[in-house]
């Protein structure tokens, strides 16, 4: 027994030596390979071998010794991939820039295109979509005619994805559909290709998300199901997690909250147990928070949304799709009565949303002016051989494009500011209504606190108080004449009393009573919110929806439809 223990102890002590010897032998064996063999070895083991950095150094030294520019560039590329995986983005950019410089020197277009694509991918990961697209376009210009179909599909997929970020959804969907067809054909020819399957899964998930955003829920579910089924033949855990969470996102968008929550929890179980998937987690938590909010389970909504915000801050995430986290977090605090916290969070949401809007329009400009016009230019270059119309056509296209882009930016900046102002007015109004509701029972009385020398005026004001208490103003039959008759006076004297003691004309008096009533009624009665604007107008005494909308906007600063829409989100 003692001998066995001694042998085990000796073996334990020798383990580091064996590991070191194996590592040294591996490095030694690696040095004996040709540069091409070393390159293949590194490609196959880039993410699976822990000591890969040492092998890359050997590969780089031997490439430099043999003055092989292409393999020196590839060594920079391998280092770039390691830096990017470790999120050391400054070093990743420096490494790929060196690779790009060498590719230009060697005039190797295929290599240069792939390096441009890689640099664009890094910008994309950093949520710098404008610079990402610029590099994708550089890659596209080089690779469109002299690259493999796999490389071109990958690049077209990335361009479609980034168009989706710029809210050019219809164009993105068109691109995705084209790629779906191409991948289906490729997988028929290469059914065992793991690379093609993973690319296809990514594309299916992105297209499904586009369908969800467009309200095409059945199509989205079908694509997520196809993605999940394809994933059964791979070990691509990220794709599986996104497909499951995507279905939860569809049900959340459909307001099928009870159905969405267990599916989201299933996806969260995957993302939270795998450190490589931690960037998926805040998206899932946002959907879960929205579900709990929709179910009015505000404490649980607060827990999910707070955790999502914590991850966003910790990881310094700037994805546009996460901006809603702060919006729903602010709404949740409102429901829980913490208006101070809600205001602080809402300001954070506005700041992020404005920043995202700016980024989106920078991206929109880049797509519109660089991507779309470069395609026009490419087609026009071919036409120039047979026609001289190119110059005038292209010049006109540029002028129109610039004018449209500038107009779109001006409009959106104006629109965003107007929306921000209206939302601020909306929340201020809701707070005022809630405060008024809380004090109604204490302050309500049957008459007015006034000092009048005219007993007749006093009697009219009492009649008006009763008129208001009984909600008689909702009856459209009342005008100045009919109300004067009800108050046992003439229309001229009634008008004078309202002007003097209410501080407004008769028309303003009636409109204010009706709008004050409908503000609370809409807030508290979900069924009323389902009526048309015309029906609501008639319900509270207006004959026309136009006069109702005009009075409503004069009182609040926004239209009834805006008020109703935001009430649904409270």
Residue 135: predicted pLDDT: 84
| Six-digit token string for 156 | 């077209």
What pTM does this model have?
0.50
Say how far apart CA 37 and CA 223 lie, in whole Å.
Answer: 40
CB crowding 108-118: b at 16 or more within 10 Å, else e: bbebbbbbbbb
By the 10 Å C-beta count (0-12 exposed, 13-18 middle, 19+ buried), 252 is classed as buried
User: In which residue are the tokens 């108080």 written?
Assistant: 465
Cβ neighbours of residue 131 closer than 8 Å, sequence gap 6 or more: 120, 123
CATH architecture of the domain formed by 33-144: Alpha Horseshoe (1.25)
DSSP string, 371-388: IIHHHHHHHHHHHTTT-S
Residue 202: predicted pLDDT: 86
Q: Which of 234, 184, 232 is nearest to 204 (CA)?
A: 184
Say how far apart CA 497 and CA 461 lie, in whole Å.
Answer: 8
| pLDDT tens, per residue, the chain with 570 residues | 444 444 444 444 444 444 344 344 588 888 888 988 888 888 777 765 557 888 888 888 988 998 888 889 888 998 888 888 777 888 989 999 999 999 888 888 878 888 888 888 888 777 777 788 788 878 877 776 666 676 777 777 777 777 776 667 777 888 888 888 887 887 888 888 887 888 888 888 888 888 888 788 998 999 999 999 988 888 889 999 999 999 999 999 999 999 999 999 999 999 999 887 888 999 999 999 999 999 999 999 999 999 998 998 888 777 767 878 888 888 888 888 888 888 778 777 666 666 555 555 555 555 544 444 444 344 334 434 434 444 444 455 566 666 666 666 666 666 666 666 767 777 777 777 666 655 554 444 334 444 344 678 888 888 888 888 888 888 888 888 888 888 888 888 888 888 888 888 888 889 889 998 988 888 888 888 888 888 898 889 988 888 888 888 888 888 888 888 888 776
By the 10 Å C-beta count (0-12 exposed, 13-18 middle, 19+ buried), 289 is classed as buried
Domain boundaries, the chain: 1-29, 33-144, 336-429, 455-568
Q: Which of 337, 336, 334, 288 is nearest to 308 (CA)?
A: 288
User: In which residue are the tokens 């920043």 written?
Assistant: 355
- Decide if domain 455-568 falls under CATH 1.10.10.60: yes
User: In which residue are the tokens 């997520």 written?
Assistant: 224
Integer CA distances (angstroms), 32 to 27, 59, 93, in order: 9, 11, 31
Query: For the chain, how big is the Rg over CA atoms in Å?
Result: 33
How many Cβ atoms sit within 10 Å of the Cβ of residue 189?
Answer: 8
By the 10 Å C-beta count (0-12 exposed, 13-18 middle, 19+ buried), 172 is classed as buried
Cβ neighbours of residue 41 closer than 8 Å, sequence gap 6 or more: 30, 33, 55
Q: Which of 354, 370, 356, 355 is nearest to 405 (CA)?
A: 370
27-43 confidence digits (pLDDT tens): 888 888 898 888 888 87
Q: CB-hemisphere CA count at 13 Å for 325?
A: 26
Cβ neighbours of residue 525 closer than 8 Å, sequence gap 6 or more: none
């Amino acid at each position: 027994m003692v001998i066995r223990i001694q042998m085990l102890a000796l073996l334990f002590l020798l383990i580091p030596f064996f590991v070191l010897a194996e590592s040294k032998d591996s490095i030694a064996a690696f040095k004996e390979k040709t540069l091409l063999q070393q390159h293949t070895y590194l490609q196959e083991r880039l993410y699976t071998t822990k000591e890969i950095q040492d092998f890359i150094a050997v590969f780089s030294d031997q490439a430099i010794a043999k003055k092989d520019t292409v393999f020196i560039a590839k060594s920079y590329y391998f280092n770039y991939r390691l830096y990017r995986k470790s999120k050391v983005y400054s070093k990743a950019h420096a490494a790929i820039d060196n690779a790009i410089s060498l590719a230009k020197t060697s005039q190797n277009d295929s290599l240069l295109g792939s390096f441009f694509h890689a640099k664009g991918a890094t910008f994309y990961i950093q949520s710098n979509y404008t610079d990402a697209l610029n590099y994708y376009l550089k890659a596209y210009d080089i690779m469109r005619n002299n690259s493999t179909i796999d490389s071109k599909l990958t690049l077209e997929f990335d361009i479609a994805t980034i168009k989706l970020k710029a809210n050019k959804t219809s164009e993105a969907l068109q691109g995705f559909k084209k790629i779906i067809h191409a991948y289906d054909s490729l997988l028929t020819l290469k059914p065992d290709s793991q690379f093609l399957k993973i690319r296809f899964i990514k594309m299916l998930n992105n297209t499904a998300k586009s369908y969800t955003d467009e309200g095409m829920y059945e199509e989205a579910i079908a694509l997520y199901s196809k993605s999940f089924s394809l994933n059964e033949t791979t070990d691509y855990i990220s794709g599986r997690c996104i497909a499951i969470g995507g279905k939860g996102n569809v049900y959340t968008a459909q307001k099928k909250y009870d159905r969405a929550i267990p599916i989201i929890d299933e996806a969260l179980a995957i993302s939270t147990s795998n450190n490589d998937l931690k960037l998926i987690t805040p998206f899932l938590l946002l959907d879960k928070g929205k579900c709990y909010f929709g179910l009015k389970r505000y404490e649980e909504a607060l827990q999910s949304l707070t955790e999502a915000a914590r991850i966003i801050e910790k990881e310094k995430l700037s994805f546009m799709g996460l901006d809603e986290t702060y919006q729903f977090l602010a709404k949740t605090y409102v429901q829980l009565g913490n208006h101070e916290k809600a205001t602080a969070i809402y300001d954070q949401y506005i700041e992020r949303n404005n920043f995202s809007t700016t980024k989106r329009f920078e991206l929109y400009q880049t797509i519109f002016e660089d991507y779309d016009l470069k395609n026009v230019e490419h087609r026009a270059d071919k036409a120039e051989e047979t026609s001289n119309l190119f110059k005038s056509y292209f010049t006109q296209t540029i002028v129109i494009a610039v004018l449209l882009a500038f107009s779109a930016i001006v409009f959106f900046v104006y629109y965003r500011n107007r929306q921000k102002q209206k939302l601020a007015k909306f929340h201020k109004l809701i707070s005022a209504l809630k405060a008024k509701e809380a004090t109604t029972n204490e302050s309500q009385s049957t008459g007015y606190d006034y000092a009048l020398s005219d007993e007749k005026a006093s009697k009219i004001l009492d009649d008006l108080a009763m008129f208001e208490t009984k909600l008689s103003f909702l009856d459209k039959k009342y005008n100045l004449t009919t109300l004067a008759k009800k108050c046992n006076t003439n229309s001229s004297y009634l008008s004078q009393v309202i002007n003097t003691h209410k501080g407004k004309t008769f028309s303003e008096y009636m409109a204010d009573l009706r709008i004050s009533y409908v503000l609370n009624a809409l807030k508290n009665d979900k069924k009323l919110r389902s009526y048309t604007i015309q029906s609501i107008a008639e319900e509270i005494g207006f004959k026309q929806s136009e006069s109702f909308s005009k009075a409503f906007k004069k009182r609040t600063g926004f239209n009834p439809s805006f008020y109703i829409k935001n009430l649904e989100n409270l």
